[in-house]
């Protein structure tokens, strides 16, 4: 049945674009073949087989320049299901690729058969032995694992720059390292034990007492063959010596064959060789790491040298003294970050050869840091620098330096010409030849006409180079091929370095493994592969390839899309924080799907198939919270594009109606309170079923994106009368947000004071009385229109609220306090583009403070906390991250509670104003991990700072989340 007012996604169908060579073929429109879909559903369940065209396309891309369309995507929950998938794939001769975060840079997480998604049901950890060990599942994001270890003073050894998105499983599979771990603290060296599923479906835990016998029984040919390979390697003294030499520097080219020198038994060898095997030998289901101390006493400096040789010469002394990180950036790298926050303006005039070193010492104690400071000073005094430098202990200054270093990828990626790809590769050279190798690398990039940058971990001789080729034409593909072949000869030939240092081999280097290691060791790698995976189902072409041109297969184009998201480099950093990540699509996937529409010709069946599902999967279930922009290296807010699409789907009549709603918002507020009162009474008298039934009927007739769904915990209405206040003598204007003017307490009790009463009372107690304007009704932060893409209504309310605040504040003389963080963010930031020039000028002169900042900076110093609660669970809403006030919220909570817990999985709750009413499944999915983390214990208080988010968190956890202001008032009140 066609619903009234249902958005029409075909209004956003792209027009006037040219089809590309890598577009999905027409048969993809039908999705997974029915027989394959049904067979897989019998293994894992229908709901965990993703088979539509939209599913296949959105999982076809990762952070690499490659793109492969899977035949089906499956979401197994445990090792038994993985084993059954493997058995099925062997029987049907279908390749299997394992994907977790999809942050790999060389196509490791792509395949054209069955794609196993190992993120959604594979997260979790247990801290053991006081933090000295971590038992962790492969889908756990690295930064969350380290957050779990932080209270114990430890961290995982590998520290990849992509730790905000990369999962532990991916880090093991690629033997990723990073800025500080070198070869001593990578996964190969710090992994204590592994649990895995062999290609034949047998499951092994290497820590089990009978593990060796179980392995020999599960895979006798493999166990026997591993020892044969070991004997063959050890019998060749020249090969053994070369391997030891090459593995002294970072090396992830091919399989980590050093395992055959370090391991003495078949299982010990296989456990070691699984590190860096890129999903081609087994499925990794759990790992136990020996952690490393997370030294907190740091010294940091950014040194600018006149040339590469001077910089390279300085690396050794700092490393010998124990510097944890020595990061090199060439002149092109420095140029790419000029103009960014924290980058000195004087760097614009640096000479062409200038080279930067970011040096950091990390010490376990103040005394050790003092010693390092003295040694660092002595090294500095003997350096030839372009500008004076010193080491800082200030973490804020150090953070700026790291921001400059970490800004290289976004600066280059975001500034690339539209339609070009981003290719980031890494190599490693002998450290004593670093300067010459860097100059040769720069020359090779320039010789092929690329404007690339070179930077990396100088302390390890590990360099990254980034280019932005245009891969839409065959001539450009040929140019890229020539460039890669010259790089291979430079690194493996001239310097005998590593073609891949820490990003895994991947499709880009798979055909060149033999060039680096020679025919004998490469043949032994192939033997290992065939022993472990005799049917060749696991990741074919990912790590080894007998096709010399395979690095050119599946290169994808990057069609130009809407300006809001065109700079996307498809890295996936947005995904761990996206509220819809476990429900529908992520920001990256929304963009990937849009680019596929651009690849297709007019009238494409694939585009039509995608659009049919895009409305719900991408547009309706986007919270529009903007946390993706905070995580994105290039600052893309995909919610902006979804709001644009919502606007483009509106008719002119709908826009006029939305503006009318804005103009009569006072009446809407009144009606909203009446509806909440009626709903609360109905639930008290006759239960929720009638209300639920009426709501469901209305959504079926009109639109699920306009008619709110029924929630069992919708609070009653707030009191219609706000507390009496006076303008004379007021310290600030109090803007009580409309969500707080409408929604009352969660338990519906009118005997408890509302937020407005509490704010007024506690501010008066601190000697800073607030004034609530008499004409506040009908004013709003405009977010309700902004989030739905109603531009006329948004424009009206944005200007209306600024005009009212200008008058209330006596032309900006008084600060304005807002008691809902999302409204604070909306008024302080989101309304600006919609203001008239006059109101924009007024807006600049207004002082708007969120209630958190008002309470911490102005009220708390004037109040006496008379008692404290024992524990508090804290939910910083997404707007507090945008406003930069999470720390203020935490500090305020810590002043009131002995223990404050901010869950590691605390991200946007997905309620997003009213989206949690429209799509309650979004909030359930967004908060599931956080709810699980909080389960099993009760807290004395549950604190937040935004009413609708509190409703969502109450629903998710069963805790009574309330504004932190309630607790502040309670604990500073005389008994």
What is each CA distance from 715 to 684, 736, 756, 873, in whole angstroms? 12, 18, 16, 21
**What does the pLDDT read at residue 714?**
76
* Separation CA 814–CA 808 (nearest Å): 8
* Separation CA 592–CA 599 (nearest Å): 11
The residue among 604, 622, 648 that closes a domain is: 648
**What does the pLDDT read at residue 689?**
42
635 and 689 housed in the same domain = no
**What does the pLDDT read at residue 691?**
45
**What does the pLDDT read at residue 686?**
46
Average pLDDT over residues 714-738: 91
Average pLDDT over residues 856-884: 97
If you search the block for the tokens 């062999």, which residue do you land on? Answer: 198
Average pLDDT over residues 713-738: 90
Outline where DSSP puts E strands in 279-383.
Answer: 282-290, 292-293, 297-305, 325-329, 355-363
726 and 846 housed in the same domain = yes
438 and 411 housed in the same domain = yes
440 and 580 housed in the same domain = no
CB 542 within 8 A of CB 108: yes
Average pLDDT over residues 151-159: 97
50 and 191 housed in the same domain = no
* Separation CA 957–CA 943 (nearest Å): 12
- The overall average pLDDT reported for the chain is 93
In a domain, 533, yes or no: no
586 and 733 housed in the same domain = no
Average pLDDT over residues 595-604: 96
If you search the block for the tokens 């190969």, which residue do you land on? Answer: 188
**What does the pLDDT read at residue 915?**
87
The residue among 280, 315, 342 that closes a domain is: 280
**Strand, coil or helix: 327:** strand
Strand order in the sheet with 96-99: 49-50, 72-74, 114-117, 96-99
**What does the pLDDT read at residue 112?**
97
Supply 461's token pair.
């001789």
Q: What percent of the chain has pLDDT over 90?
A: 86
pLDDT at 810 over 60: yes
* Separation CA 91–CA 220 (nearest Å): 20
In a domain, 768, yes or no: yes
Exposed/middle/buried for 222, CB within 10 Å: 0-12, 13-18, 19+? buried
The residue among 648, 675, 700 that closes a domain is: 648
707 and 602 housed in the same domain = no
In a domain, 446, yes or no: yes
**Strand, coil or helix: 553:** coil
**What does the pLDDT read at residue 298?**
97
Q: How many domains does the chain have?
A: 4
Q: What is the DSSP code (8-state) at residue 384?
A: -
| pLDDT one-digit tens code per residue, 229-256 | 999 999 999 999 999 999 999 999 999 9
Average pLDDT over residues 136-148: 98
If you search the block for the tokens 């003295």, which residue do you land on? Answer: 374
- CATH code, domain with 434: 3.40.462.40
**What does the pLDDT read at residue 303?**
97
189 and 157 housed in the same domain = yes
Binned at pLDDT 50, 70 and 90, residue 898 comes out as very high
Least trusted range by pLDDT, from 186-195, 217-226, 320-329, 684-693:
684-693
Least trusted range by pLDDT, from 41-50, 270-279, 375-384, 717-726:
717-726
Helix 964-972, helix 886-894: angle, nearest 10: 30
The reported pTM is 0.95
pLDDT at 361 over 90: yes
**Strand, coil or helix: 322:** coil
pLDDT at 368 over 80: yes
**What does the pLDDT read at residue 684?**
52
In a domain, 534, yes or no: no
* CA nearest to 120, candidates 44, 193, 223, 20: 44
In a domain, 732, yes or no: yes
**What does the pLDDT read at residue 699?**
44
**What does the pLDDT read at residue 912?**
86
752 and 872 housed in the same domain = yes
pLDDT at 72 over 70: yes
| pLDDT one-digit tens code per residue, 258-287 | 999 999 999 999 999 999 999 999 999 999
In a domain, 289, yes or no: no
**What does the pLDDT read at residue 338?**
87
153 and 170 housed in the same domain = yes
**What does the pLDDT read at residue 694?**
46
* Separation CA 558–CA 542 (nearest Å): 22
If you search the block for the tokens 């300067």, which residue do you land on? Answer: 435
Average pLDDT over residues 10-14: 91
Q: What percent of the chain has pLDDT over 70?
A: 95
SS3 content of the chain, % helix, strand, coil (to 5): 50, 15, 40
Helix 266-274, helix 211-218: angle, nearest 10: 80
Least trusted range by pLDDT, from 525-534, 740-749, 828-837:
740-749
316 and 274 housed in the same domain = no
pLDDT at 379 over 90: yes
**What does the pLDDT read at residue 503?**
92
**What does the pLDDT read at residue 748?**
54
In a domain, 47, yes or no: yes
With the CA atoms of 930, 933, 936 and 940 taken in that order, what torsion angle do they form, in degrees rounded to the nearest 10? -60
* Dihedral over Cα of 500, 506, 508, 512: its sign: positive
Q: Give the residue numbers spanning the domain of 146.
A: 125-280
435 and 367 housed in the same domain = yes
In a domain, 941, yes or no: yes
Q: What is the DSSP code (8-state) at residue 688?
A: S
**Strand, coil or helix: 583:** coil
Q: Is 884 left (phi over 0), alpha (psi -120 to 50) or beta?
A: left
β partners of residue 304: 356
């Amino acid at each position: 049945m066609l619903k009234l007012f249902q958005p029409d996604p075909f209004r956003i169908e792209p027009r006037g674009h040219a089809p590309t060579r890598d577009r999905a073929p027409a048969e993809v429109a039908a999705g997974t073949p029915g027989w394959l879909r049904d067979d897989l559903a019998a293994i894992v369940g229908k709901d965990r087989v993703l088979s539509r065209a939209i599913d296949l396309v959105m999982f076809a891309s990762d952070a690499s320049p490659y793109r492969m369309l899977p035949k089906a995507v499956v979401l197994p929950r445990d090792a038994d299901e993985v084993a059954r998938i493997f058995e099925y794939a062997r029987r049907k001769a279908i390749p299997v690729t394992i994907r977790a975060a999809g942050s790999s840079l060389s196509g490791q997480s792509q395949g054209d058969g069955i794609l196993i998604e190992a993120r959604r049901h594979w997260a979790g950890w247990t801290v053991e032995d006081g933090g000295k060990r971590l038992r962790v599942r492969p889908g756990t994001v690295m930064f969350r694992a380290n957050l779990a270890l932080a209270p114990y003073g430890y961290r995982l050894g590998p520290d990849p720059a992509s730790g905000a998105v990369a999962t532990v499983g991916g880090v093991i599979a690629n033997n990723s390292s990073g800025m500080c771990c070198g070869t001593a603290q990578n996964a190969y060296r710090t992994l204590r034990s592994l649990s895995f599923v062999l290609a034949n479906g047998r499951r092994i835990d290497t820590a089990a007492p009978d593990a060796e016998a179980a392995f020999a029984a599960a895979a006798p040919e493999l166990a026997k063959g591993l020892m044969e390979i070991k004997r063959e390697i050890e019998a060749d003294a020249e090969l053994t010596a070369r391997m030891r030499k090459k593995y002294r520097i970072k090396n992830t080219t091919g399989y980590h064959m050093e395992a055959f020198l370090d391991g003495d038994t078949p299982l010990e060898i296989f456990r070691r060789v699984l590190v860096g095997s890129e999903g081609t030998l087994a499925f990794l289901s759990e790992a136990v790491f020996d952690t490393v101390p997370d030294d907190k006493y740091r010294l940091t400096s950014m040194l600018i040298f006149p040339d590469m040789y001077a910089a390279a010469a300085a690396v050794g002394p700092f490393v010998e003294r124990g510097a944890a990180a020595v990061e090199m950036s060439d002149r092109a790298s420095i140029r790419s970050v000029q103009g960014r926050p924290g980058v000195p303006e004087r760097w614009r005039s640096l000479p062409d050869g200038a080279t930067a070193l970011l040096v950091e010492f990390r010490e376990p104690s103040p005394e050790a840091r003092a010693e390092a400071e003295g040694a660092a000073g002595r090294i500095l005094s003997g350096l030839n620098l372009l500008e004076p430098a010193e080491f800082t202990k200030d973490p804020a200054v150090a953070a700026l330096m790291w921001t400059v270093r970490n800004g290289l990828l976004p600066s280059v990626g975001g500034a690339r010409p539209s339609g070009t790809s981003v290719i980031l590769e890494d190599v490693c050279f002998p450290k004593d030849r670093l300067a010459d190798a860097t100059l040769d690398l720069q020359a090779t990039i320039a010789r092929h006409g690329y404007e690339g940058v070179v930077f990396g971990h100088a302390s390890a001789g590990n360099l990254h180079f980034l280019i932005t080729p245009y891969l839409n034409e065959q001539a450009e593909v040929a140019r890229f091929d020539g460039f890669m072949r010259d790089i291979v000869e430079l690194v493996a030939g001239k310097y005998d370095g590593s073609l891949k240092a820490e990003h895994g081999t991947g499709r880009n280097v798979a055909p060149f493994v033999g060039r680096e290691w020679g025919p004998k060791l490469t043949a032994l790698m192939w033997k290992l592969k065939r022993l472990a995976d005799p049917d060749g189902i696991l990741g074919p072409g990912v790590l080894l390839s007998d096709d010399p041109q395979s690095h050119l297969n599946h290169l994808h184009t990057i069609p130009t899309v809407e300006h809001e998201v065109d700079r996307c480099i498809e890295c996936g950093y947005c995904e761990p924080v996206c509220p819809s990540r476990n429900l529908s699509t992520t920001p990256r996937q929304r963009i990937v799907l849009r680019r596929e529409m651009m690849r297709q010709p007019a009238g494409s069946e694939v585009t039509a198939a995608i659009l049919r599902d895009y409305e719900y999967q991408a547009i309706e279930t986007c919270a529009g919270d903007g946390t993706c922009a905070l995580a994105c290296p290039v600052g893309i807010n995909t919610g902006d594009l979804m709001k644009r699409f919502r606007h483009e789907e509106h008719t002119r009549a709908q826009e006029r109606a939305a503006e009318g709603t804005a103009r009569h918002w006072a009446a809407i507020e009144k009606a909203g309170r009446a509806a909440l009162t009626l709903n609360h009474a109905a639930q008290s008298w006759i239960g929720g079923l009638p209300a639920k039934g009426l709501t469901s009927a209305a959504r079926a007739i009109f639109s699920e994106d306009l008619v709110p769904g029924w929630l069992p915990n919708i609070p009653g209405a707030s009191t219609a009368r706000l507390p009496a206040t006076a303008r004379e003598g007021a310290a600030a204007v109090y803007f009580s947000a409309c969500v707080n003017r409408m929604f009352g307490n969660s338990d519906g009790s009118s005997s408890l004071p509302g937020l407005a009463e509490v704010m007024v009372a506690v501010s008066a107690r601190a000697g800073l009385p607030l004034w609530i304007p008499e004409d506040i009704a009908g004013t709003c932060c405009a977010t309700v229109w902004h989030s739905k893409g109603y531009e006329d209504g948004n424009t009206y309310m944005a200007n209306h609220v600024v005009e009212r605040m200008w008058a209330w504040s006596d032309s900006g003389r008084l600060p304005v306090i807002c008691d809902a963080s999302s409204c604070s963010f909306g008024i302080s930031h989101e309304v600006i583009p919609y203001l008239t020039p006059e109101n924009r000028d007024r807006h600049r002169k207004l002082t708007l403070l969120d209630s958190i900042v008002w309470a911490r900076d102005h009220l708390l110093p004037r109040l006496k906390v008379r008692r404290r609660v024992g524990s508090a669970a804290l939910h910083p809403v997404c707007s507090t991250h945008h406003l930069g006030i999470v720390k203020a919220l935490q500090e305020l909570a810590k002043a009131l509670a002995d223990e404050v817990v901010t869950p590691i999985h605390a991200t946007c709750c997905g309620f997003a104003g009213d989206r949690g009413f429209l799509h309650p499944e979004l909030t359930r999915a967004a908060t599931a991990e956080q709810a699980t983390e909080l389960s099993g214990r009760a807290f004395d208080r549950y604190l937040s700072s935004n009413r609708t988010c509190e409703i969502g968190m109450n629903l998710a956890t069963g805790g009574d989340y309330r504004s932190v202001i309630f607790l502040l008032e309670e604990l500073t009140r005389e008994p």
